[in-house]
Amino acid sequence: MKQSKFVICIDNSDYPASLEIRKIYESVADTDAAQMGQIRVIDESGEDYLFPESCFIDANLSKEILAALVKAA
Protein backbone atom coordinates (compact mmCIF):
# COMPACT_ATOMS: atom_id res chain seq x y z
CA MET A 1 0.00 0.00 0.00
CA LYS A 2 1.29 3.44 -0.95
CA GLN A 3 1.83 5.65 2.07
CA SER A 4 -0.22 8.83 1.91
CA LYS A 5 1.27 12.12 2.99
CA PHE A 6 -0.79 15.10 3.97
CA VAL A 7 0.17 18.77 4.05
CA ILE A 8 -1.50 21.95 5.28
CA CYS A 9 -1.77 25.01 3.05
CA ILE A 10 -0.21 28.08 4.70
CA ASP A 11 -0.14 30.42 1.66
CA ASN A 12 -2.63 30.57 -1.20
CA SER A 13 -1.94 34.15 -2.29
CA ASP A 14 -1.08 33.10 -5.86
CA TYR A 15 -3.68 30.30 -6.00
CA PRO A 16 -6.89 31.44 -4.24
CA ALA A 17 -9.16 29.42 -6.55
CA SER A 18 -7.14 26.23 -6.11
CA LEU A 19 -6.06 26.23 -2.47
CA GLU A 20 -7.59 27.13 0.89
CA ILE A 21 -5.52 28.36 3.85
CA ARG A 22 -5.42 25.88 6.77
CA LYS A 23 -6.91 23.06 4.67
CA ILE A 24 -5.30 19.62 4.68
CA TYR A 25 -4.34 18.32 1.24
CA GLU A 26 -3.06 14.94 0.15
CA SER A 27 0.28 15.15 -1.61
CA VAL A 28 1.44 12.85 -4.38
CA ALA A 29 5.07 11.73 -4.51
CA ASP A 30 6.96 13.46 -7.34
CA THR A 31 10.75 13.45 -6.99
CA ASP A 32 11.27 15.57 -10.11
CA ALA A 33 8.99 18.28 -8.73
CA ALA A 34 10.71 18.15 -5.33
CA GLN A 35 14.06 18.84 -6.97
CA MET A 36 12.55 22.06 -8.35
CA GLY A 37 11.06 23.16 -4.99
CA GLN A 38 7.56 22.09 -6.00
CA ILE A 39 5.04 19.74 -4.40
CA ARG A 40 2.25 17.86 -6.16
CA VAL A 41 -1.06 18.04 -4.29
CA ILE A 42 -4.65 17.18 -5.03
CA ASP A 43 -6.34 20.58 -5.07
CA GLU A 44 -9.95 21.79 -4.92
CA SER A 45 -10.68 20.42 -8.42
CA GLY A 46 -9.78 16.88 -7.29
CA GLU A 47 -6.83 16.77 -9.69
CA ASP A 48 -3.15 16.81 -8.76
CA TYR A 49 -1.12 19.89 -9.64
CA LEU A 50 2.26 21.34 -8.80
CA PHE A 51 2.56 24.18 -6.31
CA PRO A 52 5.57 25.77 -4.58
CA GLU A 53 6.61 23.78 -1.49
CA SER A 54 6.59 27.06 0.45
CA CYS A 55 2.77 27.08 0.28
CA PHE A 56 2.58 24.03 2.57
CA ILE A 57 3.81 22.50 5.80
CA ASP A 58 3.78 18.82 6.74
CA ALA A 59 0.57 17.97 8.60
CA ASN A 60 2.32 15.57 11.07
CA LEU A 61 -0.90 13.63 11.65
CA SER A 62 -1.37 10.93 14.26
CA LYS A 63 -1.77 7.34 13.08
CA GLU A 64 -5.49 7.45 13.92
CA ILE A 65 -6.16 10.60 11.92
CA LEU A 66 -4.04 9.39 9.01
CA ALA A 67 -5.95 6.10 8.94
CA ALA A 68 -9.29 7.96 8.93
CA LEU A 69 -8.21 10.23 6.05
CA VAL A 70 -6.88 7.34 3.96
CA LYS A 71 -10.05 5.33 4.61
CA ALA A 72 -12.23 8.29 3.55
CA ALA A 73 -10.39 8.76 0.25
- Per domain, the residue ranges of the chain are 5-72
CATH class in words for 5-72:
mainly beta
Q: What is the pLDDT of residue 2?
A: 52
Is the confidence at residue 31, as pLDDT, over 90? Answer: yes
CA 73 from centre of chain: 14
CA distance 49 to 40: 5
User: Model confidence over 4-30: pLDDT tens digits?
Assistant: 699 999 999 999 988 999 999 999 999
Local confidence band at 71 (pLDDT 50, 70, 90 cut-offs): confident
Q: How far apart are CA 28 and CA 4, in angstroms?
A: 8
Spatial distance between the Cα atoms of 35 and 21, rounded to a whole number of angstroms: 24
